[in-house]
Every structure is written in C-alpha cells, then in structure tokens.
C-alpha cells in the first residue's frame, strides 16, 4: 500500500510536465509498427484503434492515475497511424528489370552517392507497362550528361530501371522502405541524352523559381561556393561535389548544407530581431503597436517563404514546424522555447510523416533541440553564471555547440559509423559566421535586389561561405579527424533514445535514472558482433572476417555494397585494400572454407564456367544463372531472401528473416535452392 502511494505521489508530481510524453509514446507505437515482421491485417488495426479510443475516454475520467491510460492509448494510436500512412502512400513498384523508353516530368534534381546527377520523374510512362503497374515516380542517374532539364519539363530517354534494392546486409538500412514512402517504384540510369519533350508549364512555379535562383547563384558565385550557396538558399545540392561533401562530413559541418533547424532558426531569428529593433527605433510605432508580435508574425512569414523556396523537404518542413511553434507561442504570450514547444513540433511531424521517426534527421534534430532546451533551462533555473556580459554570447555558443554535438553524436555514429573528433572546433569557427554573415547577407541581397544592388549581399555571402568551406577542408585534413565505429545492434538505439528521453523529460532527480539504459546501450554497442560472412543480393560480392578485418572477394565492382559493409564494420579500408586480405583461391576463384561448408565466388559466365569438381557442401555465388552440380546462388535465387549473413559454423540470417513480410519487401516464394541451402548449413552445424 505504501509502495502504491509512493508511486502515485511521484507520478502526480509530474502532472504539470506530462505533455512532452505524448510524442514519445506515439513514436514508440510507430516504432513498434515498423519493427513487426509481418503486416497486421486491417481488422486487427481497426480493433486496435477502437481500443485506443476506449483508453482515451478512460484517461479523461477524473480518477486517480487515470491519466496513465494515455500511455497504451498513444502506443495503439502510433501503430494505427503508421499503418494508415503505409497504405495511403502505396504505389506500384517494378518487379522486373526494365530497359526501354522512359518519359516523365522532372520533379527533382540531386546527386547520387557516386556524384552523378540524377532526375526524379513523376507522371511516368514506360513502354509496354500498363498505367496501373507504372510507378508513380522513378529516379534516373545521368551518365556523363551535364545539361539539367528545368523542373516541370517533360523529358524522355532510354534507361535501365530496377526495383528498389533491399538491405546490403540483413538488418541493415532498407532502402525499399525509404523508397516506398517516397513512392519511388524504379531506380536506374541512362547512358543516352535526356531529351526535352515538353517545356515546363505553370503547374510547378515554386520549383522553377528554385531552379532559377540556384542557377543564378552558381553564375554569380563561382566554384563550389556557388553550389554551397544554392544548397543553403534553394535546397539544390546538385552543384556540391563529393569531395566537398566528404570534407563537410569529416568536420561535422554537413548540417550546414542541409536546410534544417539551424538555417530556419538563424533566418527567422535574424528577421525577428532586425524588425523588432527597427520598429523600436520609431517611438510612435513602439508605443502604439505590439512590436514583438508583429516581428514574430513577419519572421513566421519569412520562414514559410523559405520553406517553399527550399523545396519543402522533410528536414526543412520539420524545422519550419519547430519555429512556427516557437513564434506561435510568442503570438499567444507563451514562453517560446520550452520542452512543450519541442513536443508540439515532434507531434506535428509524426502525425504528418510517421516514417520520419526512423530517419537520422528526425532523431538528431530533436535530440539536439531537446538537449539544448533542457540544458539552458537548467542554467536559467539554477542561475548558473556564464561570466561577464561581454563573455556570455561566447559561453552560450560553446555550450550550445558542445551540447548539440554530444546529443547527436551517438545517433550520427549509429547511422554513419563515424565520429568527427574536431567537430566542436569546426562548428565554433563556422556557425557564428553562418549566423552573422551568411544568413544576414542573403536577406540583404534579397532586400537590395529590386534596386540592382544584390551584389553587395552576395559578396558578403560568398566571403562567409568561402570561410566555412576552408574550415571544413582544413579540419577534415587533420590527422585522426574521424574515427570509425561498428554498426550497433538492433536494440541499441531504442534503448539509448529511451534513456535520453527520460533524462530530458522527467522532472526531478529521478531523471538521472535515464543514464542507466543509455549506459547499457553503449555497453551493448561495444559488444556488438559483425557477421562472419556477408553475401550480396546481386551475387557480385562476398565478404568474410579475417584477422586484419573484412576480406572482400573483388577489388572492383559492387562498390556501394563494399562501402556499406566496411562502414558497418567500422573499417576505414578501401575496397582494393580489403580485397588484398582474401587468403585462398582455387583456379583463380576466391574460396573460403567454413566449418563443414565451402563458399566459392564466381561472378560472370567465364568464372562460373571455371567451377568444376563440386563437392557436396560447396556453395557457389554468381551473378549469372548456370548449370552446376554445386548449390548455385544467383540474383534470381537471392531475390527470394535478399542478402545473406552467415557465421563460421553455418548459422544463416537472411534479409528476409530480418525484415519480415511487409508491403515494401516484395519477396518471392523461397524455392528449391534456398531450401537446399538451409539443409546444407543445418547439416554443417548451423541452427
């Protein structure tokens, strides 16, 4: 009885700070949906929705601890929300390799990881593919072409298209799920010119304005700096090369390239402060009008314009929601920067795009924002001195950079497998320039454009961006600028996030208990084991763990898969270096001997024809079909399972096992070869 009373007292003490838990439990329900191995049926989800409503009704009763019913209500609502979103965005996906004419409207232009320009097309037409089976969107990389069609233009070309590919390894990032929510039903490339079929109409004026602005900036500001300016102002990264992107990532400045909370906050904050200061200089206005609210409304309008101009991607949309909540609080005479405001922003984003919960952008931006709000609230409430008045801005900058970096570092390391060691230094040298030079100069250029004097603002903007890029290149060139970490296990991030949220949201000393699951997650991360053997779904690459690290079966080809495997291993070696680690070959073919089975990699017809004298427990991996007495795994066979991971003793995990049967997976039924593989490995000692 005393224990129940104590628990009741503890929970009642939180009643003034419960709202931030709403997006937490809603997000937990969304995460539970995406972790399922099979898609729930509609009847079960409808029943769960009814249960959620019943719990909501019970939570509204004026009974002791009735508010606790919000927890299961929100968990159930999160599952229903994610299910609804999944089926609302459903669109056709190619289930075969297509080669032929492709026609569509240019919806977006960006760069691939290999630095190639690529077009995202909507209103797609494919030869001999019925409209009901035609993807809503396809993405085509341009091989060698530098002329970019304008947004809204209808174009045609001849292209190779494939369905979105599954994880590079079981349990890895599932691009098919990412593509599902973007309605991308085919991806590929073209080696022939993209021809203009129809000039852009008036249906995409914002996209056309963005493109014209990006081209203008790249003409006025030469080199990579112009591409950087186009990315920051118009969200167009097509002018930023891979070398610059790498430097920004290694120096922890890549967030300056994405239009996110920092840019939106700097822009709207500058507009708010400038307008408020100008109006306060006019006594007649300052004494008669609500200057603060007028400035907040103008800043909100500037943020909305920036959202439209930048293309309205998920990161920018999330940033606008956060500043809209902040300035909305100012208009309603509420405190602008609180955990409640952060919770409202997170709730709106999750309601609009529940799948964003899984993105590194969502996790990192809200981790940084929540940590900053909590730390500066503690400094304010505890009246912690930050030194003399002239030193306080510097102290605030150092604290904010350190706190944001510490809060986002685990999530960045989990998703990108690197830890920049000089990120704090780079941000201290760059963020003030972004806030005091680049953003104000961009606003100044916009204000002076009607008078033909925009060159003044652009010159200042170029100077600031040149400085930021110099810092990125210099810091990324330091010895030991980054360290590499292995990918965490599946429970590390949920446990780490749960501990972080509890430490930030809970009120009172008990919040320190959130450090325990966070510490447990970090310990689990250090104990994570990587698969002994990885086999690509395409059959084009095999990787095995040796004493020096992962050995790859090829020095060239399948570079994207090789890069992902090595990154997830926390191995900075290049593909040729990793290929040199491969120890054994037979008749010129890479061979690896496990406990009771042997793997032979024979990509291509010529190498497959060299495989002779198969033994009962040989597994041959190839990129082409063929006839062999060996167990032969080809791309056609592995479409049934996706990529494979094995232990030395033969324990098998497939991408299908890890991902389950979901709307975006599109697995084919397992055939004779896969059943034979499972039997062979079970006989070899695998479970």
Mean pLDDT for 566-592 is 89
Please, are residues 227 and 237 in contact by the beta-carbon 8 Å criterion?
yes
**Last residue within a domain, chosen from 484, 514, 541:** 484
**226 lies in some domain:** no
> What pLDDT, in 10s, does the model give residues 507-530?
878 888 899 999 999 999 998 889
Side by side, the strands of the sheet bearing 533-535 are 549-552, 542-546, 533-535, 644-646, 652-654
**Last residue within a domain, chosen from 526, 551, 577:** 526
Residues 117 and 171 in one domain: yes
Residues 626 and 516 in one domain: no
Strand, coil or helix: 337: coil
**Last residue within a domain, chosen from 178, 203, 228:** 203
C-alpha closest to that of 16 among 505, 377, 515: 505
Q: What is the per-residue burial (b if ≥16 Cβ within 10 Å, else e) of 375-394?
A: bbeeeeeeeeeeeeeeeeee
In the chain, the number of structural domains is 5
CATH code of the domain covering residue 108: 2.40.50
Residues 516 and 540 in one domain: no
Domain of residue 456, residue span: 242-484
Q: How far apart are CA 625 and CA 645, in angstroms?
A: 21
pLDDT of residue 628: 66
Residues 167 and 59 in one domain: no
Q: How far apart are CA 159 and CA 207, in angstroms?
A: 24
Residues of the chain with pLDDT > 90: what percent?
37
**575 lies in some domain:** yes
Q: Is the pLDDT of residue 304 over 90?
A: no
Q: Is the pLDDT of residue 656 over 90?
A: yes
Residues 270 and 419 in one domain: yes
Q: Identify the weakest region by mean pLDDT among 61-65, 225-229, 457-461, 656-660.
A: 61-65
Helix (H) or strand (E) holding 356: none
Confidence of residue 687 (pLDDT cuts 50, 70, 90): low
pLDDT of residue 139: 95
**216 lies in some domain:** no
pLDDT of residue 684: 60
**6 lies in some domain:** no
Q: Is the pLDDT of residue 335 over 70?
A: yes
Mean pLDDT for 89-109 is 92
Residues 290 and 351 in one domain: yes
Residues 424 and 327 in one domain: yes
**215 lies in some domain:** no
Q: Is the pLDDT of residue 346 over 60?
A: yes
Residues 590 and 674 in one domain: yes
Q: How far apart are CA 230 and CA 218, in angstroms?
A: 7
Residues 120 and 83 in one domain: no
**217 lies in some domain:** no
Average pLDDT, rounded, for the chain: 87
> Kind of pairing, strands 618-621 and 598-601?
parallel
> What pLDDT, in 10s, does the model give residues 587-646?
788 999 888 888 999 898 888 888 877 777 888 999 988 776 778 899 999 999 999 999
Residues 129 and 70 in one domain: no
Q: Identify the weakest region by mean pLDDT among 131-140, 310-319, 370-379, 450-459.
A: 310-319
Q: Is the pLDDT of residue 431 over 90?
A: no
Residues 340 and 458 in one domain: yes
> What pLDDT, in 10s, does the model give residues 124-160?
999 999 999 999 999 999 887 777 788 888 999 999 9
**223 lies in some domain:** no
Residues 119 and 37 in one domain: no
C-alpha closest to that of 618 among 599, 644, 637, 604: 599
354 alpha carbon, distance to own chain's centre = 13
**255 lies in some domain:** yes
Mean pLDDT for 187-213 is 81
């Amino acid at each position: 009885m005393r224990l129940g009373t104590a628990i009741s007292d503890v929970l009642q003490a939180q009643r003034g700070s419960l709202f931030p838990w709403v997006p937490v439990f809603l997000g937990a329900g969304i995460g539970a949906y995406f972790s399922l191995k099979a898609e729930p049926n509609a009847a079960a989800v409808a029943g769960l929705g009814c249960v959620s409503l019943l719990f909501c009704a019970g939570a509204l009763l004026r009974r002791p601890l009735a508010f606790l019913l919000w927890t299961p209500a929100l968990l159930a609502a999160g599952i229903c929300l994610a299910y609804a979103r999944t089926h609302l965005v459903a669109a056709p996906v190619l289930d075969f390799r297509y080669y032929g004419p492709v026609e569509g409207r240019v919806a977006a232009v960006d760069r691939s990881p290999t630095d190639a320009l690529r077009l995202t097309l909507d209103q797609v037409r494919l030869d001999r593919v019925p409209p009901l089976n035609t993807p809503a969107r396809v993405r085509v990389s341009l091989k060698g072409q530098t002329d970019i069609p304008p947004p809204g233009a209808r174009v045609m070309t001849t292209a190779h298209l494939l369905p979105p590919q599954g994880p590079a390894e079981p349990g890895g990032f599932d691009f098919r799920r990412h593509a599902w929510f973007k309605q991308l039903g085919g991806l590929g490339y073209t080696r022939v010119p993209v021809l203009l079929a129809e000039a852009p109409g008036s249906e995409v004026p914002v996209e056309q304005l963005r493109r014209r602005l990006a081209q203008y900036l790249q003409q006025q500001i030469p080199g990579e700096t112009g591409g950087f300016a186009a990315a920051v102002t118009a969200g167009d990264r097509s002018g930023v090369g891979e070398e610059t992107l790498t430097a920004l990532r290694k120096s922890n400045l890549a967030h300056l390239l994405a239009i996110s909370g920092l840019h939106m906050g700097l822009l709207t904050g500058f507009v708010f402060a400038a307008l408020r200061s100008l109006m306060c200089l006019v006594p007649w206005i300052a004494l008669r009008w609500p200057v603060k609210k007028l400035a907040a409304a103008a800043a909100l309008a500037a943020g909305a314009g920036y959202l439209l101009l930048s293309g309205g991607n998920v990161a920018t949309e999330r940033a606008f929601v956060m500043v809209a909540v902040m300035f909305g609080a100012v208009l309603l005479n509420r405190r602008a920067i609180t955990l409640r405001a952060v919770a409202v922003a997170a709730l709106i984003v999750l309601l609009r795009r529940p799948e964003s919960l899984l993105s590194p952008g969502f996790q990192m931006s809200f981790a940084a924002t929540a940590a900053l709000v909590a730390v500066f609230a503690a400094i304010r409430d505890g009246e912690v001195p930050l030194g003399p008045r002239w030193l306080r801005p510097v102290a605030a900058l150092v604290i904010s950079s350190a706190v944001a970096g510490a809060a986002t570092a685990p999530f960045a390391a989990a998703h990108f497998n690197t830890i920049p060691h000089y990120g704090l230094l780079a941000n201290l040298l760059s963020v003030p320039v972004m806030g005091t030079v680049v953003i104000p100069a961009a606003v100044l250029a916009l204000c002076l454009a009607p008078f033909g004097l925009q060159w003044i603002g652009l010159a200042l903007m170029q100077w600031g961006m040149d400085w930021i890029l110099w810092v990125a290149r210099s810091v990324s060139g330091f010895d030991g600028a980054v360290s590499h970490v292995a990918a965490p296990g599946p429970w590390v991030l949920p446990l780490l996030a749960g501990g972080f949220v509890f430490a930030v949201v809970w009120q009172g000393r008990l919040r320190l208990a959130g450090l325990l699951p966070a510490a447990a997650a970090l310990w689990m991360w250090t104990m994570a084991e990587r698969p002994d053997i990885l086999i690509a779904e395409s059959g084009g690459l095999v990787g095995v763990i040796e004493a020096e690290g992962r050995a790859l079966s090829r020095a060239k080809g399948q570079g994207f898969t090789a890069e992902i495997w090595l990154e997830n291993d926390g191995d900075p070696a290049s593909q040729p270096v990793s290929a040199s680690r491969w120890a054994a070959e037979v008749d010129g073919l890479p061979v690896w001997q496990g406990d009771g089975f042997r793997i032979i990699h024979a990509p291509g017809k010529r190498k497959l024809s060299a495989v002779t004298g198969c033994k009962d427990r040989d597994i041959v991996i190839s990129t082409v079909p063929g006839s062999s007495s060996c167990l032969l795994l080809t791309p056609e066979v592995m479409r049934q399972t996706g990529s494979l991971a094995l232990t030395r003793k033969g324990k098998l995990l497939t991408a299908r096992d890890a991902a389950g049967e979901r709307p975006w997976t599109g697995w084919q039924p397992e055939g004779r070869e896969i059943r034979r593989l499972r039997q062979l490995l079970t006989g070899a000692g695998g479970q």
